[in-house]
Each structure stands twice: as structure tokens, then as C-alpha cells.
Amino acid sequence: MVEREQGDKMNMVIFKSLLISLLLVFCSRHTVAEKKTNHHSKSTYIIHMDKFNMPSSFNDHLLWYDSSLKSVSESAEMLYTYQHVAHGFSTRLTSQEAELLSKQPGILSVIPEVRYDLHTTRTPEFLGLGKAITFSLASGKQSDVVVGVLDTGVWPELKSFDDKGLEPVPSSWKGECERGKNFNPSNCNKKLIGARFFAKGYEAAFGPINESTESKSPRDDDGHGTHTSTTAAGSVVAGASLFGFANGTARGMATQARVATYKVCWLGGCFSSDIAAGIDKAIADGVNILSMSIGGGLADYYRDTIAIGTFAATAHGILVSTSAGNGGPSQASLSNVAPWLTTVGAGTIDRDFPAYVTLGNGKAYTGVSLYNGKLPPKTPIPIVYAGNVSGDSEGSQCGKGSLIAAKVAGKIVICDRGGNPRVEKGLVVKSAGGIGMILANNEDYGEELIADSYLLPALALGQKSSNELKKYVFSSPNPTAKLSFGGTQLGVQPSPVVAAFSSRGPNLLTPKVLKPDLIAPGVNILAGWTGAVGPTGMTEDTRHVEFNIISGTSMSCPHVSGLAALLKGTHPEWSPAAIRSALMTTSYRTYKNGQTLKDVDNGLPATPFDFGAGHVDPVAAFDPGLVYDATVDDYLSFFCALKYSSYQIKLVARRDFTCSKRKKYRVEDLNYPSFAVPFNTAFGVKGGSQKPNTVQYTRTLTNVGAPATYTVSVTQSPSVKIVVQPQTLSFRELNEKKSYTVTFTSSSKPSGTTSFAYLEWSDGKHKVSSPIAFSWT
């Protein structure tokens, strides 16, 4: 099923609820200050003040700001004053005045204004992909790459599918745009070059499609498919936002790449027969990248339609990017773990949509919201807990018809998260006469906050704040609260953090293959949307938008799909495994201060079971130095290591293959860019004594850069001795291959123990990094 986070965990199987990558904001910079020195002409500067060291002669910061400014210019006026993005103001000054001001007490900095060309909903900026970088790295070949998206279809009228400036469709393209209800071949162009739909499996299960409620065509009636396709490869659109939130210029990761959509998911779900047909047609059409925000439970690879279909795609040279799933923070909750897939988890970016609740006792708490309607009264409003104003045993979750109108009318209602979609809770409150809603996280959701476009004044709070809020309501005889909304906030730190909903390892199906592979932006992502439903996807929501903000690994997956398209455009000779390796081995796992990326669920350092190799760093991925490549033959050997019979291998690989009795096949030798090392706690136990548990892994590196000598370094785990042989590898030519072995030795540890380390090859310029995850069972 399509991974969805717009509903809560118990509702992720309801396809019509929305999924919870693009983001809006600024990329390339241009200095606005005069290029030529002119002491008499004025330019704009941003003045950062030392707020906490205001002279005692002032009792108001604004007066201090004004006085400081007037000390260098009687005519200058403050353009803006800043409270959150900075402590200070902006103004117009001559270069001489700016220099004088910089020397004043309490002035931290005087910075010439920088003009940012608004680019995508902030994700490219967050990922380091400025416009100039994107185009220089792609070298004009990006337009030869076709990104296929298996999803809910497409809304072709969006500006995100504008083909202005694109060259003719690549001659190798064999796809087409199919005709159906509300969709004609003329809806396609040089950007959207293919659109197909597959409904036979769906209709076999549910009967003929009700064309009064959904289009039997490639048209997207849900929104999810349009969001993912524009995230991966949407065109540049200025002035994009959702009700003014995340305002900026939207663009996909690969703006010059082509898009082909394959509608395999309908309002009732995604069926394996339709998915297989979609993959099959995508291969025939000639896509280069396949983006699939679709997943379910785990099954042996030879029983898994997605694993089988994507193996075929991989064999045809197509990189397949898939979502890891929204089953986090539970351990071992992954989908799409086949080693030929690129499995993507979700992280946050440095942007948020704050909202505030101020209680009658003066305490205030910060949550998130995308509400933009009529504001609630500024005066305190009575606040109640849903569980106390309901006739239902589970009324605390604000299910339909659960609230007693007489006890809710004119009040703010606290609704516990879970049980039904988040936005639906607000509608329940509204229908009962409530005028506001606070969505309260419990221990199942922790501090995870996802912004929603509520239909009444509402916000979501983390578990800690929710607990404090409830304590106040339960203890006060007349509890009150005020709600307010803060718009868009940039520069949020720390970022990224691993999203709580992002599915985690270990990989139960193949414990010696580490998944997820990496994480990418997947929380509160703005991208294109359908015109068929409102931003919440609910029938009561009659609003229509061109862009929507939603969250989920469904959003992180197309980010990587688009980045893979950029790499394919720059390195068309690279295999799917080489592209994945480049993305993984250049990912980062620490912040600039050296601390490990955090997990929003508990605030603790995340691990490779959470983020795989780390957070994607596309600029570094264009020049990885070395890659861990793999071919179909490597995956056939992998099947032999799994003890698959010739019959089972044929189910996956569609070819006759018999494992050689003369060869020793080991999963440890699959040429993967990461290491998962499970130890058996019972190994070596005999007569009460314990022998060291030793395992050996083999890897092969391919040089994709200049000749160089690489030296290995290992971040040792306190629980495992790690030995790499050889410790240096010298490459004299392009595509030269060198192998090495890693020996891991561990004494017995308690079952359930985990530990982590990192292995890195470097030539002084490149760092080829691999995570190592140890577990004892």
C-alpha cells in the first residue's frame, strides 16, 4: 500500500487518507550591495544586535536599535525588526555608515543583504543544491533522464509540469499518454512525457471503478502521486506555497528530467497485479529511474511482487527508489528490504510551522499547525479534555459522534492522537460546537510533530507539552487557553533529525543486509497537489490548492529518486548499484559540531538501524571517488547464499540458474556499501566456556575518479574487534577494482544487544564511508 502519514498509524491502510519534498525557499545568492564602492549610495544591510547585552540606559530593544542607527545616520529608518530569525533590524546605509555602525557597542554584525532566487520548497537549499550547482553537475544531460513514478496518477495542469525550455523528448522514449476519463494525450508535453493507468486488479477486487468519484485514467484524484512526481522532477514554479506557508519557488530535485506516471493505486488501494503491470510497462517505455512510495509487509523475495518486479527493472539498468515505510519508531518495521532496492527513510529539514498555546496559568507551549483561517479570540477560552466531555469509552481520541455538544460548545478541546485521522478529530470538535482543538501526543508518538491544514483553529503538541497541558486542565477549576499561529520558521536546529514515523531496522528478512540505506527530507514537504480534493483529502474539505504540505517516507523516497536522476544525467554509464553506493557512502551522520544525528522520537543519537548510511548529501555524491558496484550475477549469488532452489531463483530472476556445488556462497560477500553483522549468542558455548565469535566479510571497490591510493580507518566498537586487510588500496585507472576483507571478532553478548562502528576509505579528498551495525541474537 502507499505509505501514508496524513492519517495516524492505525489508519495507514486507509488509502484515501493523505500521506503525511519539496520545500520552499531560497537557493542561489546575489549580493544586493553595490558592486562598486560608493560612500554616498545606499544599500540594505541586516544588523544583528547583542540582545542580551543591551545598555542599562534602555528599557526597550526597539529604542536601543533606533538609537544605534541614529548614531550613524539621522535619515536612516528601520525596514524590519526581527525577533526570531535574528535579534536586530534591517536598514539602508552607505558603506561608510555601515562601517561606523559595525564599530558601535552591542553590534554583532552588519551584513550586506543577499538576494536569494526563490527555489524549491527549501529542500534543494537544505541539501546544498543551488541552481548553479544543479545545472553544472548535470552538464545538460539531465533532460535525457526519465523518472517513472508508480503512484496514484498525475494532475497535469500544474505549473510544475510546465515544459518551457525543455528540448524534444528523448528519441529512446517508447511510452505514451493514455486516454481515459478527464485525461487526454494532449495533457502530456515535453515534461510529462508518459501517463498510464492500471486498474484491472483493482476492479477484479472491488468491481468496476465508480467514475463519479474517481477517474479511470492517469488523472490523480488523491494527490499523493502528484506530490511525489513533482518532488522528484517538478519544474520551477515561482510563488508556490500552501496558504502562504513555505512561500517561495518550488522545484523538484531534477528540474530538467522528464516524468512518466503509472497509476497503479486507487482510492481502495494498490494491487500487486496492477503494480507488476506498471513496472513492466515502465521498463518497456524506457524509464531510467523508478520511484515507488509503495510498500507492505515482508515476504521472501520470490514471493514479493515488488521485489520481483524491481529485480527486473534493476536488471534493465533502472535504479529503483522505494520508501522504507511509516512503521517507526518500532524496531524491525521496514518494508522494501531487497538489496537491489534503494530504501529511503525520512528526516526533517530546518523549517517548521510553529503554533502556540498559552494557558490561563501563564505557561505557553509550542506545537505546529498549517491552519490559516479565521483566528480564534485573543481572550482566554475555556479548554476541556475530550475524555471528560464524551459519552464514548474511547472519547479521548475524538472519534466521530463521540463528543457531547453541550460540554464542548465554545471551547477548545484536547484530543489524544491515534485511532482516527488527525484532521478528522478537528472536524469532530467543530461539529460538536468547539472552536479550537489541540492534538495531544502520547507515548506512541513522543515528540513527533506533523503539521496539518486543520479546518478549525488547531495545533499539535509533543508528548511532554501535552502531559503538562493535561495536568493544568485536570487541576484547574476553570482552565482556559489561547491559540496563536506563527507562520513559517526557518533555520530550525538541530536538523535533520530522524522522523519518528520512519521505519527502522534491523532487517528481519535478511539480517546481514543493513536497511534502510539512507534518509532524506520527508517531514512537512511542500509539492504539487491534485485539484480533485482539498489539502486534507477529506470530503468536507472544499478548499483547492496547487501545492500541499504532507509528511512520510513517501516524501523522502522521491527526493532520492530525483537525486538519482541528477547522478544518472551526470554519469550515464553508472549502474543502479553504483548510483546507490555514491549516495550512501557520501551521506553524513553527524552535525557540524560532530554530534550524531538525533532521533526525534527520544532525542537520543540515532543509529544505522534508523538512518542507514546517514542523510543524503547530493553534492558529495557526484564525486564519490569509489563505489561498491553490483551486477545481476552478484544478486544471483546472493540467492544461492540464501539457499534458494533453482525454481525459487527463477521466480525472481526469470532465468534458469543453478547454484554451483563447487562454490561457497555467502551473504557476507554481497558487495553492499554497508555492513550488518548479526552474532549468535550461543556460538562457541561448550561446557560453560565461550569461544570468540568471528565472521569475515568481503567487499570490492571500483574507482570512478582519478588515480589515487586509499587508506582505511575504522571507528572501533567496544564490543567487537575489527581488522581490515589490506589497509591500503591503490587505483591506477578508471573502473579498476580492488577487494578487501573485514574480520569481526566478538565475545558473547546478551541477546538483544546492539553496537555500531564505521569503516572509511580516504585518499585525502574523498571519504568513502560505510556504517557497521552489530547485533546479538
Tell me which DSSP letter residue 161 carries: G
**Cis peptide, bond prior to residue 506, ω within 30 of zero:** yes
Q: Is the confidence at residue 523, as pLDDT, over 50?
A: yes
Q: Pairing between strand 458-461 and 436-440?
A: parallel
Do 641 and 670 contact (CB within 8 A), yes or no? yes
> Does the CA dihedral 218-287-226-156 come out positive or negative?
negative
Q: What is the pLDDT of residue 106?
A: 85
pLDDT tier for residue 47 given thresholds of 50, 70 and 90? confident
b/e map 541-572, b = 16+ CB within 10 Å: beeebbbbbbbbbbbbbbbbbbbbbbbbbbbe
CA–CA dist 590, 408 (Å, integer): 47
pLDDT digits (tens, 9 = 90+) for 705-738: 999 999 999 998 888 999 999 999 999 999 999 9
Model-level pTM greater than 0.85? Answer: no
Q: Is the confidence at residue 2, as pLDDT, over 70?
A: no
Query: Which residue in the list 160, 291, 554, 674 is annotated as catalytic?
Result: 554
pLDDT digits (tens, 9 = 90+) for 640-678: 999 999 989 988 888 889 999 999 999 999 999 999 999
Query: Which residue in the list 68, 87, 119, 151 is annotated as catalytic?
Result: 151
CA–CA dist 571, 193 (Å, integer): 22
CA–CA dist 27, 100 (Å, integer): 31
Alpha helices in 79-220 (DSSP H): 95-102, 123-127, 131-138, 200-206
CA–CA dist 211, 222 (Å, integer): 14
CA–CA dist 723, 716 (Å, integer): 10
pLDDT digits (tens, 9 = 90+) for 256-282: 999 999 999 998 888 888 888 899 999
Q: What is the pLDDT of residue 1?
A: 40
CA distances for 692 relative to 508, 741, 757, angstroms: 24, 18, 19
pLDDT digits (tens, 9 = 90+) for 424-452: 999 999 999 999 999 999 988 889 899 99
The type of residue at 304 is D
Q: What is the pLDDT of residue 422?
A: 94
Who has greater pLDDT, 165 or 687?
A: 165
Burial of 284 (0-12, 13-18, 19+ CB in 10 A): exposed
Tell me which DSSP letter residue 663 carries: S
CA–CA dist 274, 282 (Å, integer): 12
Q: What is the pLDDT of residue 583?
A: 98
- CB atoms under 10 Å from CB of 172, counted, come to 10
Q: Any idea how long the chain is? A: 777
Q: What is the mean pLDDT of the chain?
A: 88
Provide mean pLDDT across the span 742-748.
90
Listed in sequence order, the residues at least 6 apart from 212 whose beta carbon sits closer than 8 Å to its beta carbon are none
Query: Which residue in the list 224, 559, 615, 766 is annotated as catalytic?
Result: 224
Active site annotation includes 224:
yes
Active site annotation includes 554:
yes
CA–CA dist 265, 205 (Å, integer): 13
Distance of CA 620 to the CA centre of its chain: 18
The type of residue at 708 is A
pLDDT digits (tens, 9 = 90+) for 376-427: 888 999 999 999 999 888 899 999 999 999 999 999 999 999 999 999 999 9
Q: Is the confidence at residue 113, as pLDDT, over 50?
A: no
In DSSP notation, 431-494 reads HTT-SEEEEEP-TTTTT-------SSSEEEE-HHHHHHHHHHHHH-SS-EEEEEE---EE--SS
CA–CA dist 671, 121 (Å, integer): 36
CA–CA dist 664, 122 (Å, integer): 49
CA–CA dist 43, 22 (Å, integer): 32
